[in-house]
Amino acid sequence: MDEFHYRRGILHCEGVPAAEVAKKAGTPCYVYSRATFEQHYRRLAEAFAPACPLLCFSVKCCSNLSILRLLVSMGSGMDVVSGGELLRARRAGCDPSKIVYAGVGKSDAEIKLALQEGIGLFNVESEMEFENLARIAKELGVSTRAALRVNPDVDPKTHRYTTTGKRESKFGVDLERAEAFFARYGADPLVSLRGIHLHIGSPVYTTDPYLESVVKALALIDRLAIGGIAIDTLDLGGGFGADYESDQSPVAAEYATAILPLLVPRVQPSQPAGRTPLKVVLEPGRAIAANAGILLTRVEYVKQSGDRTFAICDAGMHSLLRPSHYGAFHFVWPVAPGEALVPTRRARELVMPGLVRTEVVGPLCETGDFIAEDRLLPSVTRGDLLAVYTAGAYGMTMASRYNSHPLPAEVLVDGSTISIIRRRESYADLIAHEEV
Ligand SMILES: Cc1ncc(COP(=O)(O)O)c(C=O)c1O
CATH superfamily of 4-31+291-434: Lyase, Ornithine Decarboxylase; Chain A, domain 1 (2.40.37.10)
Q: Which CATH code fits 103-282?
A: 3.20.20.10
Give the sign of the dihedral formed by CA 356, CA 360, CA 361, CA 362: positive
Q: Identity (one letter) of the amino acid at 382? A: R
Q: How confident is the model at residue 207 (pLDDT cuts 50, 70, 90)?
A: very high
Choose the residue to mutate in 44, 54, 58, 282 for probing ligand 1, maximizing ligand atoms within 8 Å of C-beta.
58
> 160 CA distance to ligand 1 centroid (A)?
14
pLDDT in tens, 134-145: 999 999 999 999
In ligand 1, which atom is closest to the CA atom of 61? 9
How close is the Cα of 82 to the center of ligand 1, in Å? 13
Q: Does 174 score more than 80 pLDDT?
A: yes
Q: Where in the chain is the domain with CATH 2.40.37.10?
A: 4-31+291-434
Q: What is the pLDDT of residues 386-412, one digit of tens each?
A: 999 999 999 999 999 999 999 999 999
**pLDDT value for 380:** 97
Q: What is the DSSP string of 306-342?
A: TTEEEEEES--TTT--HHHHH-----EEES---GGG-
Q: Which residues does a 6 A CB cutoff place in the pocket of ligand 1?
A: 58, 61, 79, 102, 199, 202-203, 237-240, 283-287, 393
- Across the chain, mean pLDDT equals 96
Q: What is the pLDDT of residue 158?
A: 75
- Residue range 71-88: mean pLDDT, rounded: 98
Atom of ligand 1 nearest to the CA of 81: 1
Question: What would the mean pLDDT of 377-383 be, rounded to a whole number?
Answer: 97
What integer pLDDT is reported at residue 161 of this predicted model? 74
pLDDT band at 165 (very low <50, low <70, confident <90, very high): low
What is the per-residue pLDDT across 286-307, written as a single tens digit (0 to 9) for each? 999 999 999 999 999 999 999 9
Active site residue 365: yes
Q: Which atom of ligand 1 is nearest to the CA of 203?
A: 10
Across-strand partners of 281? 54, 235
Q: Quick one: what percent of the chain has pLDDT higher than 70?
A: 99
Under 8 Å between Cβ of 130 and 191:
yes
Q: Which residues are registered as beta bridge partners of 301?
A: 312
Is a pLDDT exceeding 90 seen at residue 266?
A: yes
Span 166-180, average pLDDT: 86
Average pLDDT, integer, range 246-267? 96
What spacing in Å lies between the alpha carbon of 148 and ligand 1's midpoint? 16
What pLDDT score was predicted for residue 1? 85
In one-letter notation, the amino acid at residue 396 is M
- Contact at 8 Å (CB) between 175 and 214? no
Nearest CA to ligand 1 atom 12: 238
pTM reported for the whole predicted model = 0.97
User: What is the position in ligand 1's atom list of the atom closest to the CA of 284?
Assistant: 11
Catalytic residue among 29, 52, 61, 365: 365
| Tens-place pLDDT, residues 318-345 | 999 999 999 999 999 999 999 999 999 9
- CATH 3.20.20.10 maps onto the chain at 103-282
Nearest CA owner, ligand 1 atom 10: 239
Tell me the average pLDDT across 7-20: 98
Model confidence at 149: pLDDT above 70: yes
DSSP code at position 172: S
pLDDT of residue 154: 84
- DSSP reduced 3-state for 280: strand
> How many angstroms is it from 283 CA to the middle of ligand 1?
6
> What is the reported pLDDT for 48?
98
Kindly tell me if the per-residue pLDDT of 166 is higher than 80: no
